[in-house]
């Protein structure tokens, strides 16, 4: 029966669901016949090639986004763009989590219907993605009909396999985190501003309230050994490594079955339990299914991988590791679905030493930051300074410092010196030196920079992305640009120009200009995932053709057809890659 269900498409499932509600039967005869036809179809159709599939978490719409949400989006988009740079088809999914008690309460407080409240919230997150140049292919909303179908379909499968049962549940419930905590997971807390005594989650600091209710449970405890076997076989599944160890320890200590519904008299805003309108499906079972539903689940026969499943990477904040690294793989195991290949977890941004949080009001408005500094600068700052392992402190002065000391004085300065020199020509240097790239730097001037930096930067960056560490890659790029600047300054091409032979400053000068131009060309390509607009402008200034802006061309001498600028370089600030900014914050 499970094999038959696994082949039922979403439209067929909707018909099946209606039949189930009317007749309390599992699958109607016509759907069984449809399933048989689908199995014959599978054997005769080739499955499409799987694209690279990466996701952000879906964001709650109960309050406006803060810069932490922007960071997650940017980090995910950089990884996606990297895979596109390498010639892969890549898909990025982001979206909004619109069900649950805190959204219900936020809508009630705002005095609007939940759906209208969610519509407005979803548009704000869509606009944030647009302003930040996020190349998302999907924007999922948990209020989407297709998503609800997938959640109901998954519920039926779990129920049919005997993995769902009803039971009285008591415990400390956090509306903010949308989850129950055991007694060992909470502690008393005195709120300093108000003097109010409350219980809070030790893990997140969120307020909890005592709840006792009858609801459905998922047999999470049955998957303890399966999870540990998976972790053991995939020790680098979660990055960074310390969070992998935390998850393993948590599962080794034992798993309790998970409450996966709430009474509808308490929570109405969500997906009703199929066949039991007195219960609403738990928001985390609902929300986690978005990753599969937007990849086409339940899949049409022969299309299991067309939408990208299994996900190649989930990018999440460290505060939702338990949901994604324990609950989610257990749900997938129960459904017989392949698990995601990687979980990239990142740390938080702090403000004044405290975690940014919509509930506390300690936030940085990402729209204001993008308007002030521009999407490219904010993307690079967040990737360069954002924490993967440890939290990072958001600081406007740091953004200005990174801009002025690196983008302006290092990258921008090198671009200006190489491309706008009046006594040499980038195109001429490429023509005269480029076809002799390797033979020119076995020894002598420039050999150290060529062999230790220029020839290795692409492979080093690739290794960092293979390890899902875009921050390390950003540091490597900045160090490479600094080394290129140092090489150019020490080489002093302006002092080596031959006074005769118009247009040909001499081989020594040509070699220096060529190495500087190659450093800029490769830097421009490698920066495309981070700063798509500024990197494109740099490549335009160098005259690099659009079809040669891929990772395949990130080797010295790989492109010998550039050198004629495609844009006017101009004078003063006009045509300058990174004009000077004021130093004040």
For residue 517 the two structure tokens come to 């131009």
Beta strands across the sheet bearing 392-393: 354-355, 349-351, 392-393
Q: Which stretches within 132-255 are classed as H helix? A: 145-160, 224-233, 241-252
Name the DSSP class of 409: I
Segment holding 280, helix H or strand E: strand 276-281
CA dihedral 353→358→362→365, nearest 10 degrees, is: 110
Q: Residue 281's beta-bridge partner residues?
A: 261
The helix (run of H) or strand (run of E) holding residue 483 is helix 470-491
Coil, helix or strand at residue 344: strand
What pLDDT sits at residue 174?
Answer: 77
Rounded Cα gap, residues 209 and 496, in angstroms: 76
Tell me the per-residue pLDDT of 252-262, one tens digit each, with 9 for 90 and over. Answer: 999 999 999 99
- Residue 178 is predicted with a pLDDT of 65
Domain ranges of the chain: 1-45, 396-553
Q: Rounded distance, CA 125 to CA 64, Å?
A: 8
Instruction: Answer yes or no: are the C-beta atoms of 270 and 280 closer than 8 Å.
Output: yes
Which fold is adopted by the domain 396-553? Answer: Isoleucyl-tRNA Synthetase; Domain 1 (1.10.730)
Distances (CA, A) of 164 to 154, 257, 448: 11, 10, 65
487, 520 Cβ separation under 8 angstroms: no
Residues of the chain with pLDDT under 50: 1-46, 584-585
Q: How far apart are CA 345 and CA 316, in angstroms?
A: 5
Q: Report yes or no: 251 and 227 within 8 Å, Cβ to Cβ.
A: yes
b/e 327-338 (16+ beta carbons within 10 angstroms → b): bbbbbbbbbebe
Residue 380 CB contacts under 8 Å (≥ 6 apart), including other chains: 402, 407, 474, 527, 530, 531
CA distance 41 to 44: 5
Q: Kindly list the distances between the CA atom of residue 8 and the CA atoms of 2, 91, 158, 305, in Å, as whole numbers in the listed order.
A: 10, 25, 15, 16
DSSP 56: P
Helix then strand then coil, % of the chain, to nearest 5: 50, 15, 35
Count H helices, E strands: the chain? 23, 19
Beginning with the edge strand found earlier in the chain, give each strand of the sheet holding 276-281 in spatial order. Answer: 261-263, 276-281, 272-273
Q: What angle do CA 235, 236, 240 make, to 5 degrees?
A: 125
DSSP element (H, E) containing 103: helix 101-110
Between strands 52-55 and 90-97, the pairing is parallel
Q: Which tens digits make up the pLDDT trace of 314-364?
A: 999 999 999 999 999 999 999 999 999 999 999 999 987 777 666 566 789
Residue 504: alpha-carbon gap to chain centroid: 48
C-beta of residue 324 within 8 angstroms of C-beta of residue 351:
no
CB 258 within 8 A of CB 5: no
Output the CA torsion 107→112→115→116 (10° steps): -120
DSSP state of 185: G
CA dihedral 365, 144, 130, 292 (to 10 degrees): 100
């Amino acid at each position: 029966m499970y094999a038959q269900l696994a082949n039922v498409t979403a439209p067929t499932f909707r018909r099946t669901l209606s039949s189930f509600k009317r007749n309390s039967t599992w699958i109607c005869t016509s759907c069984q016949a449809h399933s048989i036809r689908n199995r014959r179809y599978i054997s005769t159709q080739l499955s499409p090639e799987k694209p690279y599939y990466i996701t952000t978490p879906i964001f709650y719409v109960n309050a406006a986004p803060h810069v932490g949400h922007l960071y997650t989006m940017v980090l995910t988009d950089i990884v996606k763009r990297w895979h596109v740079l390498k010639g892969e088809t890549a898909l990025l999914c982001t979206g909004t989590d619109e069900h649950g008690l805190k959204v219900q309460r936020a809508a009630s407080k705002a005095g609007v219907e939940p759906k209208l409240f969610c519509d407005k919230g979803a548009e704000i997150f869509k606009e944030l993605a647009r302003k930040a140049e996020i190349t998302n292919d999907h924007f999922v909303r948990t209020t989407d009909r297709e998503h609800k179908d997938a959640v109901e379909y998954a519920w039926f499968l779990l129920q049919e396999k005997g993995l769902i049962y009803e039971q009285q549940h008591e415990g400390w419930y956090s509306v903010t985190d949308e989850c129950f905590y055991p007694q060992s997971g909470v502690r008393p807390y005195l709120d300093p501003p108000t003097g109010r005594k409350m219980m809070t989650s030790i893990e997140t600091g969120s307020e909890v309230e005592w709840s006792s209710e009858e609801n459905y449970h998922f047999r999470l405890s049955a998957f303890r050994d399966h999870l540990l076997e998976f972790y053991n076989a995939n020790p680098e599944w979660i990055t960074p490594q310390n969070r992998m160890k935390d998850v393993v320890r948590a599962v080794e200590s034992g798993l309790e079955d998970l409450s996966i519904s709430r009474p509808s008299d308490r929570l109405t805003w969500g997906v009703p339990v199929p066949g039991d309108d007195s219960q609403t499906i738990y928001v985390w079972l609902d929300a986690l299914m978005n990753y599969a539903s937007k990849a086409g689940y339940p899949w049409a026969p022969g299309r299991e991988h067309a939408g990208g499943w299994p996900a190649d990477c989930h990018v999440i904040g460290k505060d939702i590791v338990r949901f994604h690294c324990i609950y989610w793989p257990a749900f997938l195991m129960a459904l017989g679905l392949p698990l995601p290949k990687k979980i990239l977890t990142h740390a938080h941004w702090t403000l004044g030493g405290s975690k940014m949080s919509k509930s506390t009001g300690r936030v940085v408005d990402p729209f204001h930051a993008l308007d002030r500094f521009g999407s490219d600068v904010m993307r690079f700052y967040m990737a360069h300074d954002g924490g993967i392992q440890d939290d990072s402190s958001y600081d406007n002065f740091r953004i200005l410092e990174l801009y002025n000391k690196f983008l302006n004085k290092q990258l921008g300065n090198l671009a200006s010196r190489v491309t706008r020199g009046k006594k040499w020509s980038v195109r001429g240097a490429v023509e005269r030196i480029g076809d002799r790239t390797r033979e020119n730097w076995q020894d002598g001037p420039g050999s150290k920079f060529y062999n230790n930096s220029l020839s290795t930067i692409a492979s080093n960056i690739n290794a960092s992305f293979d390890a899902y560490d875009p921050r390390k890659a950003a540091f490597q790029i900045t160090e490479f640009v600094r080394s290129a600047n140092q090489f150019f300054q020490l080489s002093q091409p302006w002092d080596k120009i031959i006074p005769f032979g118009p247009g040909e400053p001499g081989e020594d000068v040509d070699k220096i200009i060529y190495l500087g131009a190659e450093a800029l060309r490769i830097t421009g390509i490698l920066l495309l995932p981070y700063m798509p607009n500024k990197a494109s402008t740099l490549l335009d200034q160098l005259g690099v053709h659009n079809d040669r802006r891929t990772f395949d061309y990130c080797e010295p001498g790989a492109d010998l057809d550039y050198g004629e600028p495609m844009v006017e370089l101009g004078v003063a600030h006009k045509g300058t890659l990174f004009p000077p900014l004021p130093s004040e914050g």
